[in-house]
Structure 1
Amino acid sequence: MSSEAVQLRISDNHVVMDNGILQVYLSKPGGYVTRIQYNGIDNLLEAGNEQGNRGYWDVVWSKEGSTGTTGIFERTVGTSFNVVVENEEQIEISFTRMWDPSMEGKLSPLNIDKRYVMLRNSSGFYCYAIFEHQKEWPAFNIPQIRIVFKLREDKFHYMAVADNRQRFMPLPEDRLPRRGKVLTPPEAVLLVDPVEPEFKGEVDDKYQYSSENKDLKVHGWISSKSESDGGTGFWVIIPSNEFRTGGLVKQNLTSHVGPISLAMFLSAHYAGEDMVLKLRPNEPWKKVFGPTFIYLNALLDNDEDPLQLWEDAKDQMTEEVENWPYDFPASEDFQKSSERGSVSGRLFVRDRILSEDCIGASGAYVGLAPPGEAGSWQRDSKGYQFWSIADDDGYFSIDNIRSGDYNIFAWVPGFIGEYWSNDVLTITPGCDKKLSDIIFEPPRDGPTLWEIGIPDRSAAEFYVPDPNPNYVNKLYIDHPDKFRQYGLWERYSELYPKEDLIYTVGESDYSKDWFFAHVTRKKDDGTYQATTWQIKFHLDHVEPSGIYKLRLALASANLSKLQVRVNDEKQDPPLFTTGVIGKDNAIARHGIHGLYWLFTIDVLSHQLFEGNNTIYLTQAMATSPLPLFQGIMYDYIRFECPNSSSVKEIQV
């Protein structure tokens, strides 16, 4: 480490932050990161790119009323530069772009203030930004906000996202037409003639390296060893989830072939249009994204294992998380510890069929999010969210909550549905609120006759097939995340070429016999057709004039229509239909869940038989000869008999 004072050098068209450990060059007044000098390397970023295509913030936006998750791609370019803090301990500089009506239709109607901070004796620098939309400005949509760093192609070849998700990566030229074959969706490329033969026959797709927010705290790259460089690490550390959207299990991109590292703040990935930020007419909005920490490390000895850089990056991540909220950002929009409050309490689950007593909500996800309705946090993209995971007894504590108004939300692995309180909880500076015990009563009308799966908002427990050997990512061979392999949706047609899945309660095993995604079948002519799955079960007795309940919890839906029929495959209209739901595209993007859905269907006693019964589940959407990845993933299915029934609960 260096004990040098932090210095700021300003010229006509760039500025340099220097603390003796690293030097960061930024364009002036645009605010692009154009050069990072560290460990004797002149530039960690790809100097072959244009200056605005090395380290930058970008936003994707569209006009009011637009649909979908795409729009106009805009790198945020500052028009004014300002020194906010300059002393021996800290530099903070600002690059702002102020909007006015002359820019309408050309640039996103936002004031954007990009901030960069360098501290003394710190092996890295911080990035954050304040985005603001004023009330009188045009309404519009924002599908994406992020930071992008494009590293040197000749140095950074080893990528690490998690302890068990790291590897040497293909080169960007391997994805070009002469070396790779573009698949569907086009982000996936089959490496036909890669520079390094070891990658031949593999599929590369940036979505294979997505992570849930709760796990997405550090990721990045390690350089290849050379005579002058024993190993250098470049890491993106995201110390808080408060400014990211969609809660702890929302999935986001990390690093991928380029070499590229991202800090995703707002994205519609694994959620679809529901997650697009839509600013209505006369709606003001302001939000602070970050700070994130760009951390650099190096081996002191060429004989050291380069993977020590990953271990060190994780240690640094822990330190950054412990230091949150930071005390150094100069913007008054970033609330310091003294401006925040905390909440603690205990969550219980009351399911009278399982127990007369309340039980501690072990492992519950408990959060504060903007006021809304049950589940609204899942789709909220405008406000801040604060989450914690309860201990084995249901105790939870949420610290460093920004001042403001919130609702309390919670969901508990092992139980369907979720808790929501419509009481507004106001957080004020310095408050420490001790909540009364919270009782969550999950949906339940009667004893369980049978169930399929585990209610955990994921399809991971179901049968995930091995990939087609022609489309393999070697990282995920014999890996717990085998669902990240490419093309698994096509395996359904191979396993069920003519007849659809049939599951027999009491005989079938959902880990072997329930395909992880209810998708369409590809026919010989290349078109796709709807599929109908069957659940067969036996009833010794049917309660007269009783109402049975079928609970369908979905872990994902994409352009799908789920129809339910009971004991009549031709029933028209069906007993129940979801209508067309979902745009999360989790199946195509190698996720095991997207947004959560829960449906309860009444099944009347006269629709059931004493003896054998069949429930038909049809995914009815197959609207195009192109693979639109229409399908759903089930989280959990439960069939309940009427509460008055004397039938004992059966766990299957």
Structure 2
Amino acid sequence: MLGLQSKQNPIQNPHTISTAHMGPLRKLRRVIENCCTSGGPATMSPIGVRLSVQDRYVTIDNGILQLTLSKPDGIVTGVQYNGVDNLMEVLNKEDNRGYWDLVWSEPGSNGIFDVIKGTDFRIIAEDDNRVEVSFTRMWDPSLKGTLVPLNIDKRFIVLRGSSGFYTYAIYEHLEGWPDFDIAETRVAFKLRKDKFQYMALADNRQRIMPMPDDRLPGRGQQLAYPEAVLLTNPINPELRDEVDDKYQYSIENKDNKVHGWVSFDPPIGFWQITPSNEFRTGGPVKQNLTSHVGPTTLAIFFSAHYSGADLVPKFRGGEYWKKVFGPVFMYLNSSWIFTDPQLLWEDAKIQMQIEVDSWPYNFPLSEDYPTIEQRGSVTGRLLIRDRHADDDYIYADSAYVGLALPGDTGSWQRECKGYQFWTRADAFGNFTISNVRTGDYNLYAWVPGFIGDYKFDATISITSGCFIDLGDIVYAPPRDGPTLWEIGIPDRSAAEFYVPDPNPNYVNRLYINHPDKFRQYGLWERYAELYPDGDLVYTVGESDYTKDWFFAQVTRKSDDQTSYIPTTWQIRFKLDTVYQNGSYKLRIAIASATYSELQVRFNNLNINPPHFSTGLIGRDNSIARHGIHGLYRLYSIDVKSVWLVEGENTIFLTQSRSTSPFQGIMYDYLRLEGPSGSDANERI
């Protein structure tokens, strides 16, 4: 265990793990231990959990770590571990170390940043095995306009033999209270910059990071927006001329389970583990921040990043609302010797899997957090019916299947008030969604390789202990006729298209020769360099979308370099025959849009109005924030046969909004379908 003070004791600890999962995990952990040249496994603390309540502080000690919280604020002011008196940034004020926060506003007003400070302290549980404490802040009408109209209960839990601590919170808006919006809420931890300088987010996303001072004038130069800084004179000279930007370290919810920091002296890891996505919003591919320069680690529960206002909960008409966020686990591990940070990362991944397999936990004592016995499950098999792809049903291999609040087809990606429960179907379309909180849901799905969204046609009511078998359900993707041609892969991402190398003056070396090269800064500027004399032209049957279709349709600078102008892309294709009595269909799936308008014209660039327009769409900001997708949009355009000609045809795609370099569209997939009765062999 690298001398890791990390092992959970299944006897002393009410947080128990199934033996089926613990066997291989413990074996792997022993392999990691053997990588150490000295030292050995940590001795399990023989003492129980001890709580000390003083005038201004609450301290919880389990013999492995000591957690200090301000009273009654409930701010993490100190974490003592492995001989270090405080892992939190001691140079910061106490209320700027470890805290819950949110950004809220009254309708039509600017956002207010609020570090949530409790006004009352309670002991929920105190014995040798567990301490759970609560810090509450209650709202009343006298606080209107000064505090978000929510009752907030922040809780912290320390278990016997556990190398870490848990935190969760319950937010409640009572009926009749004022209207408000809440743009973001999260837990933030700011660690000591003199120790934590190595960050890890994934097996292939970890590195030595800049110091926070490197982002200040004199050491860093701000680029096109405040988050992006060119390191001109960093403290670590090896980082000179790199770009630092916190959005380069975003992760999709489905992959955002463990991330954190490593100290080399002494070797310590500080990890944020999120065992479930049920309390996050926007579905499995919603992107959120993780860890970044600070050193800072975040547990973000909802935000408008990569979505805009669509994922900002708006409370109107005095509606009642309550939601539990978390628990999340702050996990600590260590080695008795200087060691490769990869070993601490591997151990953190093992602990992450233990936490995931333990969900839902059996130890939080809030009545608003249901146990496994109080939850239900849904199972079934999803099949696909697309007669132009196969005469038989197709297994929905690797489909995303989930439960979210009732709504329209595809509404789950904008849903931001309730809970969501997602899984991946197996190769045969079989799925099981377990541990679902009671309530009414719709079942939604989408399948990589097929356009559109599926919604089950009945509301599903989950009750305690229920097991609902839906049997075979069938998704018929949008389809009117045979495919004449297609561009891209329908997977809600632009990653398959051409992503250029970055300008060598604006490089993050982590992403050189990396599958996520789209995370490099300034790629939007490469478009005009690649197409200096005209916009992109794609010829069906000759062009290769992996090389010839730029990943984002962005603006370009005007000739005098003082403004930005729209861009128009062309798709050229041949038709041997145009069926005058049939209807063609153009499907355009968009992976992201930012203050954009897509205008589509057929064989006539000057026709006005265009044959089709989306109108103004999107606030995803994925281009500026290095995301390869935002919110998914699908447009199905009826193409009149009189718009087409036998022989050479051209579709003009104009992104007409152009006031900044960050406006643009990322395409997911484009397909032209012929009339239903046309010959499928006409495919180009």
In the superposition, the TM-score normalised over structure 2's length comes to: 0.93
For 2:671, the equivalent position in structure 1 comes to 638
For 2:282, the equivalent position in structure 1 comes to 246
SS at match of 2:80: strand
C-alpha contact 1:490 1:522 (8 A) present in aligned 2: no
Does residue 1:62 correspond to 2:111, yes or no?
no
Deviates more, 1:184-193 or 1:155-164: 184-193
Choose the corresponding residue for 2:647, options 585, 589, 611.
Answer: 611
Choose the corresponding residue for 1:453, options 460, 478, 488.
Answer: 488
- Provide the rounded CA distance (Å) in 1 between the counterparts of 2:514 and 2:573: 34
SS at match of 1:214: helix
CA RMSD after TM alignment: 0.9
C-alpha contact 2:566 2:656 (8 A) present in aligned 1: yes
Q: Mark the runs of 5 or more structure 2 residues left unpaired by the alignment.
A: 1-43
Deviates more, 1:549-558 or 1:421-430: 421-430
For 2:164, the equivalent position in structure 1 comes to 124
- Provide the rounded CA distance (Å) in 2 between the counterparts of 1:620 and 1:553: 18
SS at match of 2:284: coil
Does residue 1:492 correspond to 2:527, yes or no?
yes
Choose the corresponding residue for 2:596, options 535, 560, 584.
Answer: 560
Does residue 1:113 correspond to 2:153, yes or no?
yes
- Provide the rounded CA distance (Å) in 2 between the counterparts of 1:527 and 1:305: 49
Does residue 1:189 correspond to 2:225, yes or no?
no
For 1:399, the equivalent position in structure 2 comes to 434
Aligned residues: 640
- Provide the rounded CA distance (Å) in 2 between the counterparts of 1:205 and 1:164: 18
For 2:198, the equivalent position in structure 1 comes to 158
Amino acid corresponding to residue 672 of structure 2 in structure 1: F
Does residue 1:97 correspond to 2:137, yes or no?
yes
Amino acid corresponding to residue 379 of structure 1 in structure 2: R
Choose the corresponding residue for 2:83, options 16, 33, 40.
Answer: 40
Choose the corresponding residue for 1:178, options 218, 223, 230.
Answer: 218
Output aligned runs, 1:78-89, within 5 Å: 78-89=118-129
For 1:335, the equivalent position in structure 2 comes to 370
- Provide the rounded CA distance (Å) in 2 between the counterparts of 1:110 and 1:497: 53
- Provide the rounded CA distance (Å) in 2 between the counterparts of 1:423 and 1:185: 46
Does residue 1:299 correspond to 2:335, yes or no?
yes
C-alpha contact 2:379 2:471 (8 A) present in aligned 1: no
SS at match of 1:311: helix
- Provide the rounded CA distance (Å) in 1 between the counterparts of 2:55 and 2:279: 34
Q: Percent identity?
A: 64
Choose the corresponding residue for 1:526, options 562, 565, 583.
Answer: 562
Change (3 A) 1:578 1:402: same
- Provide the rounded CA distance (Å) in 2 between the counterparts of 1:604 and 1:473: 47
Change (3 A) 1:334 1:649: farther
- Provide the rounded CA distance (Å) in 2 between the counterparts of 1:378 and 1:647: 34
Displacement of 1:224 after TM fit? 1.9
C-alpha contact 2:132 2:157 (8 A) present in aligned 1: yes
SS at match of 1:307: helix
Map Cα deviations across residues 28-79 of structure 1 (whole Å, 9 max, x no partner): 000000000000001000011000000000010011245xxx6100000100
Amino acid corresponding to residue 506 of structure 2 in structure 1: Y
For 1:372, the equivalent position in structure 2 comes to 407
- Provide the rounded CA distance (Å) in 2 between the counterparts of 1:44 and 1:300: 17
For 1:514, the equivalent position in structure 2 comes to 549
C-alpha contact 1:372 1:422 (8 A) present in aligned 2: no
Displacement of 1:306 after TM fit? 2.8
For 1:381, the equivalent position in structure 2 comes to 416
C-alpha contact 1:545 1:606 (8 A) present in aligned 2: no
- Provide the rounded CA distance (Å) in 1 between the counterparts of 2:179 and 2:293: 35
- Provide the rounded CA distance (Å) in 2 between the counterparts of 1:240 and 1:647: 45
Displacement of 1:546 after TM fit? 1.5
Amino acid corresponding to residue 442 of structure 1 in structure 2: P
- Provide the rounded CA distance (Å) in 1 between the counterparts of 2:650 and 2:640: 14
Does residue 1:427 correspond to 2:462, yes or no?
yes
C-alpha contact 2:376 2:465 (8 A) present in aligned 1: yes
- Provide the rounded CA distance (Å) in 1 between the counterparts of 2:238 and 2:272: 28
For 2:61, the equivalent position in structure 1 comes to 18
SS at match of 2:527: helix
C-alpha contact 1:220 1:233 (8 A) present in aligned 2: yes
- Provide the rounded CA distance (Å) in 1 between the counterparts of 2:82 and 2:572: 65
Displacement of 1:421 after TM fit? 2.2
Amino acid corresponding to residue 41 of structure 1 in structure 2: V
Amino acid corresponding to residue 201 of structure 1 in structure 2: D
C-alpha contact 1:560 1:620 (8 A) present in aligned 2: yes
Map Cα deviations across residues 113-157 of structure 1 (whole Å, 9 max, x no partner): 000000000000000000000111101000000000000010000
Displacement of 1:444 after TM fit? 0.2
- Provide the rounded CA distance (Å) in 2 between the counterparts of 1:526 and 1:259: 38
- Provide the rounded CA distance (Å) in 2 between the counterparts of 1:496 and 1:530: 14
Amino acid corresponding to residue 59 of structure 2 in structure 1: V
SS at match of 1:475: helix
Amino acid corresponding to residue 437 of structure 1 in structure 2: D
Displacement of 1:602 after TM fit? 0.8
Choose the corresponding residue for 2:238, options 198, 210, 221.
Answer: 198
Map Cα deviations across residues 578-620 of structure 1 (whole Å, 9 max, x no partner): 0000001011100000000000111111111110000000000
SS at match of 2:681: coil
- Provide the rounded CA distance (Å) in 2 between the counterparts of 1:124 and 1:340: 27
Displacement of 1:422 after TM fit? 4.0
Displacement of 1:305 after TM fit? 2.6
In the superposition, the TM-score normalised over structure 1's length comes to: 0.97
Displacement of 1:301 after TM fit? 3.2
Map Cα deviations across residues 168-199 of structure 1 (whole Å, 9 max, x no partner): 00000000011111112210001111111111
Displacement of 1:649 after TM fit? 6.0
Amino acid corresponding to residue 475 of structure 2 in structure 1: F
- Provide the rounded CA distance (Å) in 1 between the counterparts of 2:665 and 2:341: 41
Map Cα deviations across residues 182-220 of structure 1 (whole Å, 9 max, x no partner): 112210001111111111110000000000011000000
C-alpha contact 1:373 1:422 (8 A) present in aligned 2: no
Map Cα deviations across residues 277-298 of structure 1 (whole Å, 9 max, x no partner): 1011121100000000000000
- Provide the rounded CA distance (Å) in 2 between the counterparts of 1:65 and 1:413: 38
- Provide the rounded CA distance (Å) in 2 between the counterparts of 1:459 and 1:52: 41
For 1:276, the equivalent position in structure 2 comes to 312
SS at match of 1:113: strand
